Amino acid sequence: NDGRIWVPKKLEDVKAIRAGKLKPSQIAEEDRDYYLERRYPAFGNLVPRDVASRAAKERCDAGYGVNETGLAVYLDFNTAIERLGKDIIKQRYGNLFDMYEEITDVSPYEQPMQIFPAVHYTMGGIWVDYNLMTTIPGLYAIGEANFSDHGANRLGASALMQGLADGYFVLPYTIGDYLSHKIQAPKVKTDTKAFDEAEKGVKEKIAKLLAINGKQSVDDIHKKLGHIMWENVGMARTKESLEKAITEIQALRKEFWKDVKVVGKENDFNVELEKALRLADFLELGELMARDALNREESCGGHFRTEHQTEEGEAKRDDENFVYAAVWEYKGMDQAPELTKEPLNFEFVHPAQRNYKD
């Protein structure tokens, strides 16, 4: 909004800042790289978050990150304060600035804030048809529970988009479809055998986890998974990084089932067991995300493959081959999932490649 994002142009300034010998406010205007304004003059600091996130990571990877870890860029409100006055900025961002100062002991009114991209929504949601009915007749999933809307700025469902699209436009038709289905559909006989098999599988998984008694905590293994995903399956990825991620996640899954330590008992309120069960799912989901990204030979919004970009660094789409929703069928823990492609048909609005240069 009112903030401008930048890093120092000179590496010696970066080193001085990291060493605490120089404050960002002491860097001359001509020695600042407002890289979003430089790269995207038509939009500047208002580019979408996937574009801004990749640009921040690129500057930090190039060695211009401004904190001790090298993983931060500046979000500077000084120009806005000069233009609008401190009182206006305080009305708009006072609570945010107060929280930032409480955490960092740095006032954003006097010095730029330090920011860096972080993991956002990465959920997928369950399958639904165009009326939001699941694979269970008569059962509908609305909002972030389903996979139907994917914002270009993230890897999973978009909360705001699904709240608006589902609530305003889709839900009225869902209700009508539900009433029609409820009247016409025959009663569905409960498959007790399938339920018993599912229950048995969960109990066996719990017993196995409690019996491992390894040396690593659930959090330790979870951090390893997060590192693999961030480095190889994140906002910018390559064929090589995705293949590496799949191999490393498969090895980490074996490590998990061999060396995780889950304390407590099955029938107790066991937070560690709950975390372990969730991590078992995350290990499978992480590999699936890597497989899906590897299969999609294009860049489209948050799905950015470094090999597929224009000379100016824009995401290069391939609508001829990849206009479909990828639905992956689980085939078992040690088997590769099976891909089903559901074509996406655009009648009134046609996909177009984004351009933030003009």
Report domain extents, the chain: 4-115, 121-189, 190-343
Sort strands 32-33 and 338-343 into parallel, antiparallel or unpaired. Answer: unpaired
Q: How far apart are alpha carbons 290 and 175 in whole angstroms?
A: 36
| Closest alpha carbon to 174 in 162, 166, 183 | 166
What pLDDT score does 155 carry? 45
- DSSP conformation letters of 201-253: HHHHHHHHHHHH--SB-HHHHHHHHHHHHHHHSSSSB-HHHHHHHHHHHHHHH
What pLDDT score does 153 carry? 43
Structure tokens belonging to residue 4: 């401008």
Q: How far apart are alpha carbons 328 and 294 in whole angstroms?
A: 13
Q: How far apart are alpha carbons 152 and 273 in whole angstroms?
A: 35
CB 152 within 8 A of CB 48: yes
What pLDDT score does 144 carry? 72
Residues in the chain: 358
Q: How far apart are alpha carbons 358 and 353 in whole angstroms?
A: 13
Q: How far apart are alpha carbons 259 and 341 in whole angstroms?
A: 37
What pLDDT score does 182 carry? 64
What pLDDT score does 29 carry? 95
| Closest alpha carbon to 272 in 282, 281, 262, 280 | 262
In which residue ranges of the chain is pLDDT below 70?
Answer: 120-124, 148-161, 181-190, 301-302, 358
With a CB cutoff of 8 Å and minimum separation 6, the contacts of 36 are: 5, 43, 44, 45, 47, 52, 55
What pLDDT score does 76 carry? 97
- Please name the helix (run of DSSP H) or strand (run of DSSP E) that holds residue 324, with its range, or none: strand 324-329
What pLDDT score does 154 carry? 46
User: Coil, strand, or helix at residue 157?
Assistant: strand
What pLDDT score does 177 carry? 74
Q: How far apart are alpha carbons 32 and 10 in whole angstroms?
A: 8
What pLDDT score does 12 carry? 96
What pLDDT score does 39 carry? 92
Axis-axis angle for helices 271-295, 192-212 (nearest 10): 110
Sort strands 338-343 and 324-329 into parallel, antiparallel or unpaired. Answer: antiparallel
- 305-312's contacts with Cβ under 8 Å and 24+ in sequence apart are 305/236, 305/237, 305/238, 305/239, 306/236, 306/237, 306/238, 307/238, 307/239, 312/357
* 190-343 placed in CATH 1.20.58.100: yes
Q: How far apart are alpha carbons 89 and 172 in whole angstroms?
A: 41
Please give the class, per CATH, of domain 4-115.
alpha beta
